[in-house]
């Protein structure tokens, strides 16, 4: 079996983990639009591809899948997930499984207001959100919400253009500057992250790792400690299985006065997944097993509490002639 990791970028660890768990003869292939993406050098083979916005991008990826006899394909960046999910059948036609949830679910994950509406409909606690400024002002006047709040793009990732707002004046300035913004209740509580694998054959959660976030940097977890709570496990399993997620997803959660609130869902490997892997939660092995047509047995919470993750900088050195560098 061969797996293709698209837009590998700087996610060296994820590529390494797939190589560590591969069976003899299995290959890990990676792509990126730049040959200065260090993760591609961790793969058995890598390809330089156009940017995902290029008109021939999908054709190039399908060609790689045919040439390398790819069994499963996944991406590590948000903008590519909808593309893969939308063209699932094109990949299936050449024998490649797309390791991404269904298209509608992916689109819901990337539309923060739609996610809010879905959580509300499912009666799962989440922070209040507003697309309508007038409604926000009415509910603020009624004492149903107060400053500070977050103002953020309805669609966005990597914590881009998220602002903590403390007044009507600030809010009005942001809505004047940017389009497609929403107002979100400020969740003043402890933040957690969950790495969840939902078996692609059974649709059941087979692993769930929760980390208590200690420090964040550029929208990703920089320092964290492993954490367990059966109440949270039950809530998350119920949520993802009712939604119909499959594959690997990353969930952001807040805890306020003993209640857990789901904030966002990222339908891919989260930036903090190495914490889960090094604590014994081996998602790549489960993906390989599913691609081999075998279901995984549930092992929810099969890790120790009190295991800390601390990110630090690493470098990769490669000889590349100046004229051959692709940015």
Confidence of residue 5 (pLDDT cuts 50, 70, 90): very high
Cβ within 8 Å of residue 143, ≥6 positions away: none
Respond yes or no on whether the N-terminal peptide bond of residue 53 is cis (omega within 30° of 0). Answer: no
Convert the pLDDT of each residue in 54-105 to its tens digit. 999 999 999 999 999 999 999 999 999 999 999 999 999 999 999 999 999 9
Whether residue 187 has pLDDT greater than 70: yes
Stretch among 56-70, 147-161, 170-184, 313-327 having the lowest mean pLDDT: 147-161
User: Residue 199 and residue 111: Cα distance in Å, rounded?
Assistant: 24
Cβ-contact 116, 124 below 8 angstroms: no
User: Residue 264 and residue 64: Cα distance in Å, rounded?
Assistant: 32
Convert the pLDDT of each residue in 294-320 to its tens digit. 999 999 999 999 999 999 998 999 999
Convert the pLDDT of each residue in 227-239 to its tens digit. 999 999 999 999 9
pTM score, whole prediction = 0.94
pLDDT, position 159 = 56
Convert the pLDDT of each residue in 249-286 to its tens digit. 999 999 999 999 999 999 999 999 999 999 999 999 99
Which helix (H) or strand (E) segment holds residue 148: the answer is none
Q: How many beta carbons lie within 10 A of that of residue 319, not counting itself?
A: 5
User: 41: which DSSP letter?
Assistant: G
């Amino acid at each position: 079996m061969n797996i293709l990791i698209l837009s590998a970028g700087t996610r060296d660890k994820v590529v390494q983990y797939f190589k560590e768990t591969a069976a003899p003869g299995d290959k890990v292939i990676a792509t990126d639009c730049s040959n200065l993406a260090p993760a591609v050098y961790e793969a058995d083979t890598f390809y330089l591809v156009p940017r995902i916005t290029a008109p021939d991008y999908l054709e190039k990826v399908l060609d790689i899948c045919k040439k390398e006899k790819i069994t499963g394909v996944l991406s590590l960046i948000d903008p590519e997930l909808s593309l893969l999910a939308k063209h699932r059948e094109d990949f299936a036609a050449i024998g490649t499984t797309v390791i991404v949830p269904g298209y509608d679910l992916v689109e819901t994950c990337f539309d923060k207001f739609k996610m809010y509406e879905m959580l509300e409909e499912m009666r799962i606690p989440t922070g209040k959100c507003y697309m309508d400024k007038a409604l926000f002002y009415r509910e603020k006047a009624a004492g149903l919400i107060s400053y500070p709040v977050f103002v953020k793009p309805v669609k966005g990732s990597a914590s881009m253009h998220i602002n903590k707002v403390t007044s009507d004046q600030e809010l009005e300035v942001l809505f004047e500057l940017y389009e497609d913004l929403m107002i979100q209740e400020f969740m003043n509580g402890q933040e957690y992250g969950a790495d969840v694998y939902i078996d692609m054959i059974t649709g059941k959660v087979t692993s769930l790792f929760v980390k208590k976030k200690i420090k964040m940097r550029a929208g990703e977890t920089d320092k964290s400690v492993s954490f367990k709570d059966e109440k949270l496990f039950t809530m998350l399993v119920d949520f993802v299985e009712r939604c119909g997620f499959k594959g690997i997803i990353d969930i952001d959660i807040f805890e306020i006065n003993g209640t857990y609130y789901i904030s966002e869902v990222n339908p891919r490997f989260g930036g903090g997944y190495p914490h889960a892997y090094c604590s014994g939660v081996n998602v790549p092995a489960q993906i390989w097993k599913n691609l081999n047509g075998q279901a995984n047995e549930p092992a929810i919470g099969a890790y120790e509490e009190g295991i800390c993750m601390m990110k630090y900088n690493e470098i990769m050195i490669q000889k590349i002639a100046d004229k051959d560098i692709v940015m």
